[in-house]
Amino acid sequence: MKKPVKVTITGAAGHIGYALAFRVASGEMFGPDQPVILRLLEIPQALSSLNGVGMELEDCALPLLHDIVLTDDPSIGFRETDYALLIGAKPRSKGMERKDLILENAKIFAAQGRSINDNASGDVRVLVVGNPANTNALIAASNAPDLANRQFTAMTRLDHNRTMGQLANKTNSLVADIKRVNIWGNHSMTQYPDISNCLIDGKPAYDLVTRDWVIDHMIPRIQRRGAEIIEARGLSSAASAADAVVDHVHDWALGTSENDWVSMSVMSDGSYGVSEGVVFSFPVTCKEGEYEIVQGLDLDELSQSRLKTSEKELLEERAIIQELLPKG
Ligand code: NAD
Ligand code: LMR
């Protein structure tokens, strides 16, 4: 039997946390032979509800779930953890942009970055989901002086999956046959869903869809999809977000499929001319717990200008929270 992996979920009594915890515990994230210990972290006001989540987990009698820790103390929640899934934060409501949450949510990620630094495994991998996710990941990384920036990522996998879903519908194909879509930039209205390199059942996607459809319909739809769901549900996406968390961490830990890549927001290393010091979504491949940004893709003028727009927004977000970045 393998040694259990410790997984911390913050905001575990919230909508995404509730959809996620059971999937991690049942083996979907790390595979059917990998036991897990769940460390569920909430704020004091949500502890009663968190206790209910703990009871339900117990009632599932999941063979891979070796222990459950329920707490409102970050030093317990992050103790020796291998994976920290930072979900707990305020969601936006109708009419807001994700960056409108920045002042309210940013401090959570500064404190959690420090606590992860002091309590987690030295090899911890962090995924930030709470919005604005990219800038919150930058804050968490900057408050963890003993950890490497590459241990911190933010989630654009939901946008990636949304792009595959839209393409599958439009071309009447199976999602399983779609490869090499990717999201560039920020998890926001400026993100750039790119299908220039996409293959559908081995054929270039652009043989099956027109550039006008991509520019006038697909890209704006993906950029607005979060808001479209809030309009429809009165609440932000939760099950699809939890699903994307499972995908992101699964692929980071266990590797991406051959001849394909996924979208992850990671600390920019200057690839594709993107400024260092912002957490930007790139196409990446993963192997043995490490990601690499896919290099050498051609970017036409339109793509380059879209990347610049998203980079500019991330630099503006960074300026707003500059005082929360002790590493500089
Ligand atoms: P929710 O309000 O249902 O749940 C959030 C939970 O976090 C609550 O239970 C709350 O008590 C808890 N929480 C708040 N502060 C905390 C802290 N400091 N420590 C631990 N727990 C804390 O919200 P939700 O629908 O689960 O969404 C959570 C976040 O995820 C929001 O910011 C939302 O915008 C974001 N989100 C991101 C993506 C993405 O693709 N990156 C997708 C969907 C939602
Ligand atoms: C999403 O993309 O669904 C989330 O970021 C929630 C939101 O506010 O749009």
**Interval 169-214: pLDDT, tens:** 999 999 999 999 999 999 999 999 999 999 999 999 999 999 999 9
Q: Are strands 290-293 and 279-287 parallel, antiparallel or unpaired?
A: antiparallel
φ/ψ of 324, rounded to 5, equals: -90, 10
Mean pLDDT, range 13-27, rounded to an integer: 98
| Residue of 9, 10, 16, 186 best suited for mutating to test ligand 1, as the one with most atoms within 8 Å of CB | 16
- Ligand 1: atom nearest CA of 46 is 11
Pocket flag, ligand 2, residue 92 (CB < 6 Å): yes
**pLDDT 10s digits, 82-102:** 999 999 999 998 999 898 999
Of 94-108, 273-287, 293-307, the one with minimum mean pLDDT is 94-108
Tell me the pLDDT of the chain averaged across its residues. Answer: 97
pLDDT value for 99: 87
Of the candidates 297, 249, 252, the one whose C-alpha atom is nearest the C-alpha of residue 273 is 297
The conformational region for residue 230 under phi > 0 = left, psi -120 to 50 = alpha, else beta, is: alpha
Pocket flag, ligand 2, residue 236 (CB < 6 Å): yes
Report the nearest-CA residue for atom 3 of ligand 2: 226
- For CA atoms 168, 174, 180, 184, the dihedral sign is positive
Report the nearest-CA residue for atom 30 of ligand 1: 130
**pLDDT exceeds 70 at position 328:** no
Whether pTM exceeds 0.95: yes
Pocket flag, ligand 2, residue 15 (CB < 6 Å): no
Structure tokens at 62: 């999941």
Report the nearest-CA residue for atom 9 of ligand 2: 226
**pLDDT exceeds 80 at position 327:** no
pLDDT-based confidence at 1, cuts 50/70/90? confident
- Ligand 1: atom nearest CA of 49 is 9
| CA–CA gap between residue 148 and residue 150 (Å, rounded) | 5
Q: Cα 123 to the chain's mean position, in Å?
A: 18
pLDDT value for 142: 98
| Cis preceding linkage at 132, omega within 30 | yes
**Where exactly are the structural domains of the chain?**
5-154, 157-318
| CA–CA gap between residue 91 and residue 96 (Å, rounded) | 10
Reduced 3-state DSSP string for the chain: CCCCEEEEEECCCCHHHHHHHHHHHCCCCCCCCCCEEEEEECCHHHHHHHHHHHHHHHHCCCCCEEEEEEECCHHHHCCCCCEEEECCCCCCCCCCCHHHHHHHHHHHHHHHHHHHHHHCCCCCEEEECCCCHHHHHHHHHHCCCCCCHHHEEECCHHHHHHHHHHHHHHHCCCHHHEECCEEEECCCCCCEEECCCCEECCEEHHHCCCHHHHHHHHHHHHHHHHHHHHHHHCCCCCHHHHHHHHHHHHHHHHCCCCCCCEEEEEECCCHHHCCCCCEEEEEEEEECCEEEECCCCCCCHHHHHHHHHHHHHHHHHHHHCHHHCCCC
Ligand 1 center to 14 CA (angstroms): 6
**pLDDT exceeds 70 at position 79:** yes
- Ligand 2: atom nearest CA of 237 is 3
Q: Which residues are catalytic?
A: 187
| Residue of 43, 45, 92, 136 best suited for mutating to test ligand 1, as the one with most atoms within 8 Å of CB | 43
Nearest listed ligand to the Cα of residue 136: 1
| Residue of 229, 245, 281 best suited for mutating to test ligand 2, as the one with most atoms within 8 Å of CB | 229
CATH for 5-154? 3.40.50.720
Mean pLDDT, range 213-220, rounded to an integer: 98
Mean pLDDT, range 234-246, rounded to an integer: 98
**pLDDT exceeds 80 at position 299:** yes
CATH for 157-318? 3.90.110.10
Domains 5-154 and 157-318 share a fold: no
Nearest listed ligand to the Cα of residue 42: 1
What's the half-sphere exposure (Cβ side, CA atoms, 13 Å) at 22? 15
